[in-house]
Amino acid sequence: MNTRISAAPAAVPGTGPVTEPASREHPNGDHRQDQPSDSRLVGTDVGTGFTAGLPAYGHCFVGILMREYLRFVQQRSRFLSSLVRPLLWLVVFASGFRAALGVAIIPPYETYITYETYIAPGLCCMILLFNGMQSSLSMVYDREMGSMRVLLMSPLPRSWLLLCKLMAIGLISLTQVYAFLALAWLSVDFDPPLLGYITALPALFLTALLLGAIGLFLSTHIRQLENFAGVMNFVIFPMFFISSALYPLWKMREASEWLYWLCLANPFTHAVELVRHALYGQLNLLALAITAGATLVFALLAILGFNPERAAGGGKVKGER
């Protein structure tokens, strides 16, 4: 009787037993190693060798979006404060300055307008500004509490995790903005064309991405929750007041030349003008280019500056003392 003996692969000392790769016999008698048959596999995590497909990226985005949405729903005071703050500016502040601050005919307006009509787009961007910073504050909180490790366990690229966080912040912010626009339409003389509420949607979303990217950039470099709260005030108020949100740029120039150039250098100014024109069905190409460019720059800086060791443990990074 002939006996067939198959030699097992030798084990390398100190590495443990070596297992033979699984193989299957095809009808033609060939023995081939099993290979993944899904042609949709597009991403590979180098550290684990895990290959993620397109559905995994979608599930990741939906999961982060639902997490941010549930957190937003549970914090009802956050939603109310996001509406009360701009409404106070619109009803109280604007009413007091209506007589003193008449607004001349400037694009995109075709006639003289009330001061309430002028500052409404700026107040929409103020909602996006505050919400972008507060949502980024939650990233610092997650890092200190250790829940950031759950996200980092995902085999998907960390850049995709940050982009999902950024898009989730933007989509939730849009809910607050349109709630404010509805209240503004009911409370004061603010009536842009109905089509403007639709054409303003891309501009509002791009602005939300810009302000969220700035917040994420700050959160990647600030380690403690207390420090981030102070930096928020240092960033929010100069961005808002040194812009065209409350006053036209030509009035800024009449008051001070250097203040006018500071407003032009502020990306928030161009985001406000982009939203203002979009509400009336117009496109400001310069504002679009600057807002999109600033969004790309801050998003890249946030991704490149993200330290996974610091985010995972909230502890000291290697090399720090």
pLDDT one-digit tens code per residue, 46-99: 444 444 567 888 888 888 888 888 888 887 777 887 788 898 888 888 877 766
Taking the C-alpha atoms of residue 101 and residue 94, their distance in angstroms, rounded to an integer, is: 9
Residue 123, pLDDT above cutoff 60: yes
Residue 113: strand pairing partners: 103
The residue ranking higher by pLDDT, 48 or 196, is 196
The Cα-based distances of 272 to 116, 214, 231, 241, 263 in angstroms read 15, 16, 22, 12, 11
Check: CB of residue 136 under 8 Å from CB of residue 216: yes
**What is the pLDDT at residue 48?**
42
Mean pLDDT of the residues in the chain? 77
Q: Quick one: the chain helix, strand, coil %, rounded to 5?
A: 65, 5, 30
Residue 32, pLDDT above cutoff 60: no
**What is the pLDDT at residue 309?**
54
Q: Is the dihedral of CA 86, 91, 93, 95 positive or negative?
A: positive
**What is the pLDDT at residue 197?**
94
**What is the pLDDT at residue 308?**
54
**What is the pLDDT at residue 49?**
40
Query: Which of 287, 306, 293, 245 is closest to 90 using CA atoms?
Result: 245
Residue 268, pLDDT above cutoff 90: yes
Query: Which of 302, 310, 321 is closest to 142 using CA atoms?
Result: 310
Query: Which of 197, 224, 216, 237 is closest to 158 using CA atoms?
Result: 216
Q: Please state whether 163 falls in left (phi above 0), alpha (psi between -120 and 50) or beta.
A: alpha
Q: Please state whether 117 falls in left (phi above 0), alpha (psi between -120 and 50) or beta.
A: alpha
Check: CB of residue 287 under 8 Å from CB of residue 270: yes
Average pLDDT over residues 221-234: 72
Residues in CB range of 134: below 8 A, 6 or more apart: 78, 232
Average pLDDT over residues 214-235: 77
Confidence of residue 125 (pLDDT cuts 50, 70, 90): very high
Residue 284, pLDDT above cutoff 90: yes
Tell me, what DSSP letter sits at residue 113?
A: B
Q: Please state whether 3 falls in left (phi above 0), alpha (psi between -120 and 50) or beta.
A: beta
Count helices and strands (H / E) in the chain. 13, 4
Least confident segment among 36-40, 71-75, 111-115, 272-276:
36-40
**What is the pLDDT at residue 190?**
85
Pairing of strands 41-44, 23-25: unpaired
**What is the pLDDT at residue 6?**
44
The residue ranking higher by pLDDT, 1 or 176, is 176
**What is the pLDDT at residue 198?**
95
**What is the pLDDT at residue 262?**
94
Check: CB of residue 229 under 8 Å from CB of residue 137: yes
In 10 A of CB 39, how many CB atoms? 7
pLDDT one-digit tens code per residue, 169-178: 899 999 999 9
Check: CB of residue 213 under 8 Å from CB of residue 302: yes
For residue 4 the two structure tokens come to 């067939």
Tell me, what DSSP letter sits at residue 275?
A: H
For residue 106 the two structure tokens come to 């400037």
Taking the C-alpha atoms of residue 34 and residue 106, their distance in angstroms, rounded to an integer, is: 68
**What is the pLDDT at residue 99?**
61
Tell me, what DSSP letter sits at residue 10?
A: P
Instruction: Kindly state the percentage of the chain with pLDDT values over 90.
Output: 30
Average pLDDT over residues 209-230: 80
Taking the C-alpha atoms of residue 276 and residue 60, their distance in angstroms, rounded to an integer, is: 34
Confidence of residue 144 (pLDDT cuts 50, 70, 90): low
**What is the pLDDT at residue 241?**
92
Instruction: Kindly state the percentage of the chain with pLDDT values over 70.
Output: 70
Residue 321, pLDDT above cutoff 50: no
The residue ranking higher by pLDDT, 8 or 210, is 210
Amino acid at 51: T
Average pLDDT over residues 115-141: 86
Residue 18, pLDDT above cutoff 60: no
**What is the pLDDT at residue 282?**
93
Confidence of residue 7 (pLDDT cuts 50, 70, 90): very low
